Amino acid sequence: MNKILVIGISILLLSLIVNADIRIDSVSYDPSYVRPGDEVTVYLKFHNNPSTREVHTAPLIINDHIQPIQDNPEIFYKAILEPASDLSEKYIIIKDKEKNVGHLFIGESWTTPFDIKISENAEIARYKLRFSVLRTDIEGKYEEVERSYEFEIPVKGSVVFDINSNNTIKLGSIGNLKISIINTGGGNARDVVVGLDLSDPFTPVTVSSKYIGDLGSNEEKMVEFPIFVGSDAEPRVYSIPVTLEYVDDDGNEISVEREIGIEVVGEPVIGIALESSDLFSPGISGEIDVNFVNEGFVDARFVKVRLLDSEDYEILSSNEVYIGNLDSDDSETETFKIRIRENATTGIIPVKFQLFYKGPNSDVEFTRIEDVNVNVLSREEYANGIQQGSDALSYITGILFLIPVIIVAYLILWFVYKLVTLLTGYLNRRFFSRR
């Protein structure tokens, strides 16, 4: 009786089949900071959890021993990962959406990895995905959703620097190099340091690196560096390496390199000066000698000079002269003939010249107007000047005439002296040698 009772109780307690219940344990992904263009591995962990017990048929008894209840070996599982929103459908590629898990024992855990690709042009957003565990059989004749779970992967922006720099600096001068830095990415750049890698012909006036602080998404900052350009530099566009060091949202110290262009220009600077001139008075014509000198650091090409008309004078010679090339620190003198108008005022009058020339490495033509000052004398001053000039000329002419006379007189005296010396020596030998 007791034996039958024990067996009956055992049958009641052990004749239970466990119905499994799939439970999602965790979702993780690597890397943890996801940016557009990243390849990400998603790990989904779940287990076969016993949930309810139902009375079933009598258990299997062998040799008066009740055998342990086993789960149903005909149940198999599949894991599926799929987009759960239009945004995810557009920007996330799941390489292998369906994974065969196989049979799971009661209480057994399983981790399924899925490889996904975030599109390069993905928006900064949270992307929803759906993970499902399907029940099936060994032959896959049927599929039934056992558990679905939706989760999100936040795609964060990375730091993307856009540098704008449009700088022109003259040879032999100090220029302020301006650099505009924009963070066009979705990430934040902290503790940003901007550095320049300067080499000849550039020299930093103060420092070659500067701290500009934090640069958030779509934030722009301007940084300036005063630099000196040597006078012996070649006029052209130079490439300057720029280094940007910062800390990203993950705390990583990152260094990126960019390049900016600096245009070094050198314009020929042609100055003019009055070298000499005739005396001028109203109604009087004469010549002026004008010196043209290249005072710039670069050579001037195709130099042309034009004498401009004026109410104070009229041009008697050709008003235009072609000089050609004029090297740096080189000069050329040209002569022009003018006549002072009768109604011109006395004193200093400007004689205007227009200069045309090009630089060494450009087809751009430069033009400028420069003056030389000519002194216009009154008629009395002009007459006195002419007279003084005539007197001076006469004086010079007399000096020039007197010089050969002096030379001839000196030669005559020297000849007479030599003759007297010879004669005196002869007489001394003639009359006094016998004594």
Of 58-72, 136-150, 158-172, 291-305, the one with minimum mean pLDDT is 58-72
Position with higher pLDDT, 283 vs 385: 283
Evaluate whether 2-155 and 161-265 have a shared fold: yes
Model confidence at 17, in pLDDT bands (50, 70, 90)? very low
- Residue pLDDT, tens place only, 324-347: 999 988 999 999 999 999 999 889
- Kindly report the CATH number that applies to the domain delimited by 2-155: 2.60.40.150
The structure's pTM equals 0.54
For residue 156, the model assigns a pLDDT of 84
The domain defined by 270-377 folds into Immunoglobulin-like (2.60.40)
The three-state secondary structure class of 205 is coil
* Side chain identity at residue 285, one-letter code: S
- Kindly report the CATH number that applies to the domain delimited by 161-265: 2.60.40.10
Buried b (16+ CB within 10 A) or exposed e, 272-289: beeeebebbbbebeeebe
For residue 26, the model assigns a pLDDT of 93
pLDDT > 60? residue 139: yes
Query: Half-sphere exposure (CA, 13 Å, Cβ side) for 38?
Result: 19
User: What are the residue boundaries of the structural domains of the chain, listed by start?
Assistant: 2-155, 161-265, 270-377, 386-422
List the one residue out of 371, 352, 290, 296 whose CA is nearest residue 326. 296
Please state, for a pLDDT cut of 90, what percent of the chain lies above it. 53
| Mean pLDDT for all residues in the chain | 84
Residues 6+ apart with CB under 8 A from 11: 58, 59, 66
CA dist list (Å): 130 to 16, 68, 89, 115: 34, 37, 11, 14
